[in-house]
Amino acid sequence: MSRGLVVQKYGGSSVANVERIQRVAKRVVGYSKKGYDLVVVVSALGDTTDELVELADKINPNPSEREMDMLLSTGEQISVALLAMAIHKLGSQAISFTGSQVGILTDNSHTRARIIKINVDKIRAELKKGRIVIVAGFQGVTLNQEITTLGRGGSDLTAVALAKELQADSCEIYTDVMGIYTTDPRIEPNARKIKEITYDEMLEMASLGAQVMQPRSIEVAKKFNVPLHVRSSFNTQSGTMIIKEVKKMEDVLVSGVTLNKNEAKITLCGVPDKPGVAVKLFEELATSGVSVDMIVQNVSHTRSTDISFTIAKADCLKASKITKKVAKKIGANDVLLDEDIARVSIVGVGMKSHHGVAAKMFGILADNKINIEMISTSDISISCIIKKKDAEIAVKKLHADFGLSKAK
């Protein structure tokens, strides 16, 4: 009888110190003794990545992306080696690999590379020897042997991609929470754990600010139908299954409320109201690798208009410079930057078959005297840009009024 293959991913909080690394090692060895082949993907210890970013900023506030990848990839190398040592101490065989050693081939986009191909021959060979294979998450290598990283949360993507290539029986994502919740439990203690959620809903929630999983990893899981089990590394309880379809999913109007405080708004004032002007701005931003999210252009009653758009806060400096440069070229006026904003969103597949959801959301915000600056919608989500000071009360009120709180 062939052994089942499980891919497990452990986040930074799960391996933050010696005690937690030892706990993960015991869990992994326990799976192995039950007869499973194990491929374990590990993130950097605790806040290591953030600390490395801060260190780089002290050396050079504007470092090259190549050197950032060289720096940040070291975090996971430490994690995999320590976990392998912990497993050895428990009497089991394990071997650790970096992304490049394991053959995770990516494109040349430093700090946000995309996986092109994974050669799993080396992993399969080690599994046949009875070893637990530990892989550094978040990283890969180009054809030119340049180290790359896969963007924030990239270890999730590593795990999902490996599960797909290895045709694993399951892919488990271990974190410091019990699963996916209706909203962030740190903001709303009455948030409920969701037993099952669709890829579409999870992708929307992750894209809109839920930080449990990287959006790109959900895209890959959906594309190749890789079922994901998000669970806690601190207990053995079941978590949340992310799957293709959930029974009676259309009966649930709203599945969750998300909040993102890491966005900024740029407004280009006095833009000449003529064809082709907006494209000059957004082409420049795209060429520079700045992703634009919401865009609002005011209706013009004169010969000029205002264009507002949101970006990730990390891109503020770059986007502001580009917008000011374009403003001069096209004869626009001021460029205003507002970092004091937040995006609050509601997500649910049931929105497709129910009317009046947007009106209810806007009504809840209005009743609590929360002003909406921008609005964006999709088939299964509605997002509003509001002031940061109103963010947490907005989450609490939307969560309660859409009936998401757990029964008391």
Taking only the tens place, the pLDDT of each residue in 103-151 is 999 999 999 899 999 999 999 999 999 999 999 999 999 999 999 999 9
| Residue-level pLDDT at 1 | 43
d(CA 52, CA 401): 41
| Residue-level pLDDT at 251 | 57
**Per-residue pLDDT for 299 more than 70?**
no
**Helix H or strand E encompassing 172:** strand 170-175
| Residue-level pLDDT at 310 | 95
Return the exposure string of 2-32: e unless at least 16 CB atoms fall within 10 Å of the residue's CB, then b: eeebbbbbbbbbbbbeeebbbbbbebbbebb
d(CA 204, CA 263): 16
| Residue-level pLDDT at 304 | 81
For residues 212 and 155, is the Cβ–Cβ distance under 8 A? no
Average pLDDT over residues 4-28: 96
Q: Which residue has the higher pLDDT, 253 or 388?
A: 388
Of the pLDDT bands very low, low, confident and very high (cuts 50, 70, 90), residue 272 is confident
| Residue-level pLDDT at 408 | 47
pLDDT digits (tens, 9 = 90+) for 331-341: 888 999 999 99
pTM value is 0.84
Of the pLDDT bands very low, low, confident and very high (cuts 50, 70, 90), residue 300 is low
Q: How many angstroms separate the Cα of 343 from the Cα of each of 145, 208, 387, 406?
A: 39, 8, 9, 24
d(CA 294, CA 385): 9
For residues 157 and 150, is the Cβ–Cβ distance under 8 A? yes
Angle subtended by helix axes 316-330 and 277-287, to nearest 10: 150
3-state secondary structure of 111: coil
**Widest CA span in the chain:** 77
d(CA 182, CA 210): 10
For residues 343 and 310, is the Cβ–Cβ distance under 8 A? yes
| Residue-level pLDDT at 274 | 82
Of the pLDDT bands very low, low, confident and very high (cuts 50, 70, 90), residue 68 is very high
d(CA 393, CA 387): 11
3-state secondary structure of 21: helix
Enter the tokens of residue 174.
């271990």
| Residue-level pLDDT at 402 | 92
- CB-based contacts of 371, cutoff 8 Å, min separation 6: 386, 387, 390
Q: CB atoms < 10 A from the CB of 318, how many?
A: 15
- CB-based contacts of 184, cutoff 8 Å, min separation 6: 191, 210, 258, 259, 395
Asked whether the CA dihedral 186, 192, 194, 197 is positive or negative, the reply is negative
**Per-residue pLDDT for 2 more than 70?**
no
Average pLDDT over residues 182-186: 91
Give which of 202, 204, 143 is closest to 379, Cα–Cα.
Answer: 204
d(CA 186, CA 346): 17
Question: Can you name the residues that pair with 350 across neighbouring β-strands?
Answer: none
Sequence-ordered strand ranges (E) for 43-145: 94-97, 104-106, 115-118, 132-136, 139-141
**Per-residue pLDDT for 50 more than 50?**
yes
**Per-residue pLDDT for 3 more than 90?**
no
d(CA 343, CA 349): 20
Lowest mean pLDDT among 227-231, 253-257, 370-374: 253-257
Question: Can you name the residues that pair with 380 across neighbouring β-strands?
Answer: none
Q: What share of the chain is helix, strand, coil (3-state, %, to 5)?
A: 40, 25, 35
Of the pLDDT bands very low, low, confident and very high (cuts 50, 70, 90), residue 69 is very high
* Average model confidence (pLDDT) across the chain: 91
| Residue-level pLDDT at 252 | 66
3-state secondary structure of 280: helix
For residues 199 and 349, is the Cβ–Cβ distance under 8 A? no
Angle subtended by helix axes 215-223 and 199-207, to nearest 10: 160
